[in-house]
């Protein structure tokens, strides 16, 4: 690993100052380094790959019915057929490398991140006034009105277009207080109104789909770990560029 990082450093430090400045001024330096390092990693792997089969799948997914359609598609993205084939090969190599290097770490990563991998469906109403929130809560709790009916009529948030229902989705990026309420609530439990910033929220958790460490999930995790590894190499390379030529960066 150390030898590989040394090779990355040598190749990057051989890039001209003019080229580095051009990338930096166009906000492309970080992405270039990441792509450069990824391609270098893939170049170290010899793998028998049926590029034609992968390309056929690629064309089907992108509705490219004829070869001329593919050529137009590639030219609009500034790449040629050889670049395209290399990208297809690298996508398979990345899967291979990720599985080989990070398979053993997948279970630990899964356990540590399971909360963000579980999928939740919940109903939510947001209003500005606490009195209104409690009034609506009582209407729902007493079954005087349904949650979706109240949400479509009163909820300020855009979720009223879905009759107040959100998900199934991860709650990794929701407000910390809302996340805690969802994690601790029982399925079907209507929670008392609570405040998040300037909003008063009524919440009911409808369903929870537990994440499982199957082959698909393990593959996603190993690819994520590969990406984290490349990001670390990219950051380290950027630091070395800065140390090597402060005037350039």
For the chain, the average pLDDT equals 91
Per-residue pLDDT at 157: 63
Per-residue pLDDT at 245: 62
Return d(Cα 123, Cα 188) in angstroms, integer.
10
Return d(Cα 127, Cα 156) in angstroms, integer.
6
Residues 125 and 205 in one domain: yes
Has residue 179 got a pLDDT over 70? Answer: yes
The answer to whether position 249 is within a domain reads no
Q: Is the pTM of this model over 0.85?
A: no
pLDDT per position as a tens digit, 109-147 = 999 999 999 999 999 999 999 999 999 999 999 999 999
Residue 135 belongs to domain with CATH number: 3.10.50.40
- What DSSP designation does 161 have? G
Has residue 158 got a pLDDT over 60? Answer: no
The answer to whether position 238 is within a domain reads yes
Residues 142 and 46 in one domain: no
The residue range of the domain holding 90 is 2-109+215-244
Has residue 185 got a pLDDT over 70? Answer: yes
Q: How confident is the model at residue 247 (pLDDT cuts 50, 70, 90)?
A: low
Has residue 160 got a pLDDT over 60? Answer: no
Return d(Cα 195, Cα 178) in angstroms, integer.
9
Has residue 159 got a pLDDT over 80? Answer: no
Has residue 56 got a pLDDT over 60? Answer: yes
Q: Tell me which range, 4-13, 18-27, 60-69, is most confidently predicted by mean pLDDT.
A: 60-69
Please give the sequence-ordered ranges of beta strands (E in DSSP) within the chain, or none if there are none. Answer: 119-127, 165-169, 194-196, 199-209
Residues 137 and 94 in one domain: no
Residues 6 and 96 in one domain: yes
Mean pLDDT, residues 87-99? 96
Residue 203: strand, helix, or coil: strand
Per-residue pLDDT at 161: 52
């Amino acid at each position: 690993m150390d030898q590989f990082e040394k090779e990355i450093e040598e190749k990057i430090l051989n890039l001209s100052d003019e080229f580095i400045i051009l990338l930096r001024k166009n906000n492309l330096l970080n992405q270039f380094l990441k792509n450069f390092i990824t391609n270098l990693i893939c170049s170290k792997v010899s793998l028998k790959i049926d590029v034609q089969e992968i390309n056929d799948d690629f064309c089907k997914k992108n509705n490219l019915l004829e070869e001329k359609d593919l050529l137009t598609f590639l030219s609009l993205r500034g790449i040629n057929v050889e670049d395209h084939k290399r990208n297809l090969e690298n996508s398979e190599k990345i899967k291979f490398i990720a599985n080989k290097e990070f398979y053993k770490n997948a279970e630990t990563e899964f356990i540590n991140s399971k909360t963000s991998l579980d999928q939740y469906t919940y109903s939510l109403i947001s209003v500005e006034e606490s009195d209104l929130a409690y009034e609506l809560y009582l209407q729902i709790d007493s079954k005087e009105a349904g949650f979706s009916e109240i949400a479509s009529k009163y909820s300020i948030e855009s979720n009223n277009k879905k009759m107040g229902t959100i998900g199934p989705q991860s709650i990794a990026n929701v407000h910390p207080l809302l996340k805690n309420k969802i994690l601790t609530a029982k399925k079907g439990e209507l929670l008392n109104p609570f405040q998040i910033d300037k909003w008063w929220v009524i919440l009911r958790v409808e369903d929870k789909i537990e994440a499982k460490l199957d082959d698909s999930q393990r593959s996603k995790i190993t690819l994520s770990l590969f990406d984290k590894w490349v990001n670390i190499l990219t950051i380290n390379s950027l630091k070395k560029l800065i140390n090597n030529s402060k005037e350039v960066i």
